[in-house]
Amino acid sequence: MMKGATIDELFDLTHTKAAELFEGHTYPWEILPLIHDFILKLGAALPEEEYEKRGEDIWIAKDAKLWPNVSITGPCIIGHGTEVRPGAFIRGNALVGDGAVVGNSTELKNVILFDCVEAPHYNYVGDSILGFHAHMGAGSITSNIKSDRKNIVVKAGEEHIETGLRKIGAMLGDYVEVGCGTVLNPGSVVGAHTNIYPLSSIRGVIPADSIYKKEGCIVRRED
């Protein structure tokens, strides 16, 4: 088992409506192909007094704030108190938790955003899972496909896991802070409570409770 990359190490599942989806799986990328069907199932069961069904397979909490010029394709669920700001582009297969922010010109596709996630400014988040209170700095993106289009291998030192998937963005643990302008390369995994310096290029598994300053310079958080 790859240390630092498991569902149990990365996430507190009490902060997502997708907790059931993670059951029986070891690594979070295993559920990426399952998001579409899960949202359809969950959406149909949401209480009508709390969620409004808009368009085809789109469920939006009645206390969520959506600006008028956003674009949403289903299946999609937007949670309680979440704000979707001008120009946001949600391309489907997106489960956005409670109290989250999907910012101006941010694009989402095949993702699970736990409660209180912030992707507030010019972010691309695709084929990714962002844990509770994870924050994407302005202009930071998940790169979800390799230039050679081959299946993605998750790497932690000398340990490699063949995922069998061609598209994987990033798996961000709870309370991860991603600095502005950072690129999270395909198959990146960032442990909970880790901070990434701005303008970083992240690959492989980054330990929890760390500060990533640059490649080869990762220090332990002291707080």
Residue 80 annotated in active site = no
H helix runs in the chain, sequence order: 7-10, 19-22, 35-45
Whole-angstrom distance, CA of residue 31 vs CA of residue 38? 10
β-strands 153-156, 159-162 pairing: antiparallel
Q: Which of 80, 121, 133, 193 is catalytic?
A: 121
Per DSSP, 150 falls in state P
Burial of residue 54 (number of CB atoms within 10 Å: 0-12, 13-18, 19+): middle
Name 218's Cβ contacts closer than 8 Å, sequence gap at least 6: 206, 207, 210, 211, 212
Whole-angstrom distance, CA of residue 84 vs CA of residue 167? 25
- Tally Cβ neighbours within 10 Å of residue 209: 15
- Residues annotated as part of the active site: 121
